[in-house]
Structures are given as C-alpha cells and as structure tokens.
Amino acid sequence: MTSTRFACLAAGLLFTGLSTAADFSFEGAFNQDDDIRHFSFSVGATSDVTLRSWGYAGGVNAAGQTIARGGFDTNLALFDGSGALIYINDDGGPGNVAADSGTGQYWDAFLQVTLAPGDYLASLTQYDNFANGPTFANGFSRDGEGNFTADFGCGAAAFCDVSGISPYDQRSNHWALDILDVSPIPEPETYALLLAGLGLIGFTARHRKAEALS
C-alpha cells in the first residue's frame, strides 16, 4: 500500500519571523517505490519559489548538508490550494541539477516558478509515479503498485532506474528536497485548512497503471 506523509513548513515558525522569506531542507527514505511525500506551504505575496531534489546525484543542500548520491530518480508535482495540478517536473537537466557520477544523468527534479499568494502542495515521488491530474484527487499513476521499478530491469527488487547503466541503475530509497524562498512562512492553522480543502484527510485511491516513459 502506498505510504503518504505530509510535512508542514509551519514548523519554521519556531526559528524565523513571519515576514522573512525562508528556505527549507528535508531528507528521508521511502519504504516502497510507490510511496509519496507531500509538503504544504503558503505564499503571502507573489514570489519566485524553487523546489529541487538532491538524492539522485547528491551535493550540498540549502542547509549546508552533504547529500550522498545514489538515491532514486525523483518527480515533483505542484498543486494549488484548490487541488489543481499546476506544474510537474521529472528531470531538472543541465544547469539546474548535477549529473550523477555513475549514470551521467541529470535526474534530480527542479521547479522554479512564480507563485501568486495562496496555499500550495508539493508532492515528491519516484519515476514514473506521475500525478494523474488535472487535480490532486485524481491520484498518482503507480498508487498501490509497490516495487514497480523492478520491471525496469536492474535486477533489484525496487528502486531501479531506466538508465540501464549497471551497477549504477540500482538506486537507494533515500531522497532529499529543498523548498526555497517561501514568503511568508505559513501559520500553523494554514496546514490543517489546506489538507481539509484538498480532501486529504482519510484519502485513499487506486488508479490505472501508467505506461513507463523513456
């Protein structure tokens, strides 16, 4: 069964004033490759917000922590406060993310978007578990298909990628994410209201299997 977890950026209120744009860094590990991590935040004034994963190629995140390379190929989806899917990114590409030293691929995810004031939800998944869209309620293409990446052919039970470059296509379950220039930091009640508005409380779904993308 898909594991879905939420992170609330309001925790930053313990350390930062409400009027100051803030950067947030997260790390974790999936149990299965169809897991999803969600991150809610609010924007009080039109802002350029950057979301960037680090686990695939590694590097130094916004908190100054060194992230090891070798994590799975990440996707990012961004939803607005109504649950509409507004942006999605699979591969950040040269100039935005680093190349993995094993596969040579630029497969960390990267989104840099101008956001109007409002509530937002970012979702991090393993390729090719894409948001079905057009709304969050449509779920994700690999929901309930634990260890689906074994079909990518690296010989491991899970967390394979499609590079085909052995042994570097056998990835770990580790992920890391930065969410940068969030202004202002949301108040704690914003998180609960956002989850209720998107219908996330008690949300479960099963969706069709998507075709693997090259």
Q: Are the beta carbons of 186 and 6 closer than 8 angstroms?
A: no
**Confidence band of 199 (pLDDT split at 50, 70, 90):** low
Tens-digit pLDDT profile for residues 107-148: 999 999 999 999 999 999 999 999 999 999 999 999 999 999
* CA distances (Å), origin 207, targets 102, 138, 157: 33, 8, 22
Classify 141 as helix, strand or coil: coil
11, amino acid identity? A
What CATH number was assigned to the domain covering residues 4-198? 2.60.120.380
Residue 142: predicted pLDDT: 97
pLDDT (mean) for 86-108: 97
d(CA 124, CA 179): 12
Q: Are the beta carbons of 71 and 175 closer than 8 angstroms?
A: yes
Per-domain residue ranges of the chain = 4-198
